[in-house]
Amino acid sequence: MKMIYILNGPNLNLLGTREPEIYGTDTLASIEKACAAKAKTLGFDIDFRQTNIEGELVNHIHHAREHALGIVINAGAYTHTSVALHDAIKAVGLPTIEVHLSNVYKRESFRHHSYISPVAHGLICGFGPKSYELALEGLSSILKSTGKA
């Protein structure tokens, strides 16, 4: 098993049309395609998922425990509100990289706090769709250094 879960939260299904001045014009489908290509070069497969429902993200994290080596997560707005996601990531114990397309620290102050960062191995933000590929590289490095890849 060389699977990495890439989980996406609320409103990310609207990428390409939602606030393109902040999030760009790439769609979630184009990001998935780039992630699949990047993962392949790193020797991994991906399971790419998106939901607008917090509980479904928790279920995806739980599912990853048995089916993945690690998680890349862009929890969207749930990043700043969800103790449930924090607890789920902590409970499954998988290496996790938090991702954001925009630099959240250049935006509204409420976006400066993350419930995910304290339980993630790393955070990548501000590089647009490339943030996902950088997260995959970081996760691959973590997995290789721990002998799990």
List residues with catalytic annotation: 23, 100
Residues 6+ apart with CB under 8 A from 78: 9, 10, 54, 57, 85
Q: Which residues pair with 63 in a beta bridge?
A: none
* Amino acid, single-letter form, for residue 31: I
How far, CA to CA in Å, does 92 sit from each of 18, 69, 120, 148?
32, 11, 12, 15
* DSSP letter string, 47-59: EEEE-S-HHHHHH
